[in-house]
Amino acid sequence: MTHAYIAEAVRTPRGKGNDKGSLKGIKPAVLLAQALQTLAQRSSVDTAQVSDAIFGCVSQTGDQGTSVGTLALPLAGWSDSVSAVTLNRYCASGLSATNFAALQALHGDTLAVGGGVEMMSRVPMGSDLGPLTHDSELQALAHLVPIGIAADAIATQRGYTREMLDTYAATSQQRAAAAAARGPSLSMFSVTGDNGQVLLEHDENIRPSTTAQSLATMQAAFAQWGAKGGDAGWDAQLCRRYQLPAIHHVHHAGNSPAMADGAAAVLVGSQAALSRAKIKPRARILGFADTGSDRTLALTGTVDAARLALARAQLQPGDMDLFEINEGFAAMALHFMDEMQVGHDQLNVNGGAIAIGHAMGCTGAALISVLLDELEHRKGRYGCISICGAAGVASAMVIERMD
């Protein structure tokens, strides 16, 4: 069987996605360019040998408009022969872009780059004013609900209590804090300003003092929104669709993903292309998937994509040493563990987006290096990344660490 390989993967620290974020002063194309520069330096790749670059970005407007990934390449000093495109598969964009890059590498027996960028401090979620967030009529016709309310519906269906979700979220914070205390991981690089000063060298959303008890004091975020509109509102629609007596609103800012800034880049290639470039790969891609799931609940797509990628890799969940998923609300993570029969000791072992933050178009690509770093640290063999997005889109990848 022919496989694509991961030559190198890098990521920025995730900054706060608001006015207090350390990365707010940098333009998205410049942030992604730093990832591309680091990728080229660490892999020693001749960028003229790279055939294509595919990047994820969700809010493609303002600073992130006009194919921000294309603009990052010349800023990074890459060869003019490298073409690029920026795509939007919602929160799965960065991983989906890397899946596409793997396809390009295999089809052309060449090298390609996948990755993503999102700077929510400069381009807040929904800035593109698209129908997903700004057209309630079309949302109703398509049976789409706001993702936080969908998370509450999953918790209601599965019987996940507020205490269960807060406990999970507190663990994410504690794991992320412990990982940060050990220092930057192999694939993370420091972001610098125009004069070379270090702007950010660690994930800055983490709140080490968080406990389940402190989270219990926070008010549910989506209750009023869900009830608005009465029988025509989101809660009523969900109750009718899934035959629920009521929606229990259990998610809040503390057990939901934090908004973030970040960029990531992954160099992939066929075995022959890497051999010609004299680059030793870090991992082999055994299977990947871009798929759809229940468009209303949406967050269940993490399971569907992981199952499909594992089937294509001819492996089972029990074969995996580690899983990395985007923590798109605590209920989604609990649902993944239940459905996949995965223990928390194998899932997001260094915390996830609840603690570190979710830079929408970047996160999926960043999770590749997160997983690869930990597999190398533990000398594990197999790992799976999975991430879902609005309207039920989802992407996954199964990798094998190379000795």
Q: What count of other Cβ atoms lies within 10 Å of the Cβ of residue 141?
A: 10
In whole angstroms, what is the distance from residue 358 CA to residue 201 CA? 17
Task: Report the distance separating Cα 335 and Cα 330, nearest Å.
Answer: 9
Question: Would you give the DSSP letter of residue 120?
Answer: T
Spatial CA neighbour of 102 closest among 393, 313, 317: 313
3-state secondary structure of 316: coil
CA angle 37, 354, 373 (to 5 degrees): 45
Residue type, 136: S
Q: Is 245 exposed, middle or buried (0-12, 13-18, 19+ CB in 10 A)?
A: exposed
For the beta carbon of residue 94, count every other beta carbon within 10 angstroms: 39
DSSP state of 66: T
- Active-site residue identified among 91, 249, 252, 335: 91
* Sheet strands (E) in 244-392: 260-270, 283-292, 322-325, 382-388
Residues 8, 13, 18: CA angle, nearest 5 degrees: 140
The two beta strands, 260-270 and 4-11, are antiparallel
91 an active-site residue? yes
- Which one is catalytic: 3, 358, 362, 384? 358
Q: Active site includes 388?
A: yes
DSSP bridge pairs for 111: 50, 269
CA atoms of 255 and 354, how far apart (whole Å): 6
- C-beta neighbour count of 317 within 10 angstroms: 16
Q: Which value, to the nearest 10 degrees, does the dihedral of the CA atoms of residues 30, 187, 204, 201 take?
A: -70
Q: Which secondary-structure segment (H or E) carries 336? A: helix 330-340
Asked if 57 is an active-site residue, the reply is no
Calpha distance 293→335 (Å, rounded): 14
SS3 for 275?
Answer: helix
Catalogue the active-site residues: 91, 358, 388
